[in-house]
């Protein structure tokens, strides 16, 4: 690969930030270029490697424009409002971007698509290699189980997650819907309460669980008469997302512009 890829990590003191730092420090093809967090964060000015028992020589900063100077790829697992600010800054600095943030509005997603005409971006609700494979398996299963099977998606996450259903659950729903020639917006059911009547066989249902420190569990259930097919992925720690995100960063190293997802990164299409 030549010189190490210079990585900027935003939200560096958060749960995903820690996982990303650990993975960057462990990868000889990558180097931590900058570590960014909010202006009120108590870690500002401290060495980004401190909590990992390392001296990185990179101090945590809130100055995104300064952090992007000379960088190759910014990796973002923050929140939509912050991601939009980082997106704008990356365009100005001509820095590529990996976006693992979820909970974007339709307008924000459109802004990402437009930005990809100027810089290259990997945008995926889940950077896990296993989840990316699961999306493919769901598409294949939906094509085969296209009649007589009800589709339900169950997801569980930690108590701190602020959006529901998860971006991954929605992506799995989109995969199933597209395989069946449907639009998820037209067939999704996000909640049931009271006398709901019989289930509409054309719908895709979602159930959300929030609690404790669950990293991320997703199950797609195809329920037929006399049998059920369940496709499940369970993440036991955030390292899987960090490793996938940094794999995506390497994928972008020779891409000037364009919008990609983990299917592209893994060569699944």
Per residue in 37-75, pLDDT tens?
A: 998 888 899 999 987 788 999 999 999 999 999 999 999
Q: Are 88 and 118 in contact (CB under 8 A)?
A: no
How confident is the model at residue 135, as a pLDDT?
A: 94
Q: What is the pLDDT of residue 42?
A: 87
The pLDDT assigned to 65 comes to: 97
Q: Which of 157, 218, 233, 250 is catalytic?
A: 157
* Domain spanning 129-235: CATH superfamily: Dihydrodipicolinate Reductase; domain 2 (3.30.360.10)
Phi, psi of 109 (to 5 degrees): -65, -40
The whole-angstrom separation of Cα 125 and Cα 108 is 14
Nearest to 206 by CA among 161, 149, 166: 166
Tell me, what's the pLDDT at 125?
Answer: 86
Could you confirm whether 143 is annotated as catalytic? no
* Encoded tokens for 132: 């990316």
| Comparison of pLDDT for 54 and 92, the residue scoring more | 92
From the candidates 6, 54, 161, 255, give the one annotated as an active-site residue: 161
Phi, psi of 128 (to 5 degrees): -65, 135
Please list the residue range(s) of the chain that carry CATH number 3.40.50.720: 5-123+238-265
For 165-182, how does the pLDDT look when each residue is reduced to its tens digit (9 = 90+)?
999 999 999 999 999 999
User: Is the predicted pLDDT of residue 1 greater than 70, yes or no?
Assistant: no
Fold of 5-123+238-265: Rossmann fold (3.40.50)
**pLDDT tens track for 206-216:** 999 999 999 99
What is the phi/psi pair of residue 208, to 5°? -120, 135
Query: Mean of the per-residue pLDDT values for the chain?
Result: 95
Known catalytic membership, residue 43: no
């Amino acid at each position: 690969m030549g010189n190490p890829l210079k990585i900027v990590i935003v939200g560096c003191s958060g749960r995903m930030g820690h996982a990303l730092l650990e993975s960057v420090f462990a990868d000889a093809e990558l180097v931590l270029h900058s570590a960014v967090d909010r202006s009120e964060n108590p870690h500002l000015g401290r060495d980004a490697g401190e909590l990992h028992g390392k001296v990185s020589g990179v101090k945590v900063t809130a100055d995104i424009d300064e952090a992007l100077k000379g960088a190759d790829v910014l990796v973002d697992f923050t929140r939509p409002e912050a991601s939009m600010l980082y997106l704008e800054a990356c365009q100005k600095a001509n820095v590529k971007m990996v976006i693992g943030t979820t909970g974007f509005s339709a307008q924000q997603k459109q802004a990402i698509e437009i930005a990809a005409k100027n810089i290259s971006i990997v945008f995926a609700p889940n950077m896990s290699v296993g989840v990316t494979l699961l999306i493919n398996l769901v598409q294949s299963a939906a094509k085969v189980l296209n009649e007589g099977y009800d589709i339900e998606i169950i997801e569980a996450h930690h108590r701190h997650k602020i959006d529901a259903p998860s971006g991954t659950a929605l992506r799995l729903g989109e995969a199933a819907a597209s395989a069946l020639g449907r639009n998820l917006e037209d067939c999704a059911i996000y909640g049931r309460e009271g006398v709901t009547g019989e289930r509409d066989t054309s719908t895709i249902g979602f159930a959300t669980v929030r609690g404790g420190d669950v990293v991320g569990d997703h199950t797609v259930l195809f329920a037929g008469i006399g049998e059920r097919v369940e496709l499940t992925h369970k993440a036991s720690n955030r390292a899987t997302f960090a490793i996938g995100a940094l794999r995506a960063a390497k994928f972008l190293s020779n891409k000037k512009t364009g919008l990609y997802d983990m299917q592209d990164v893994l060569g699944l299409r």
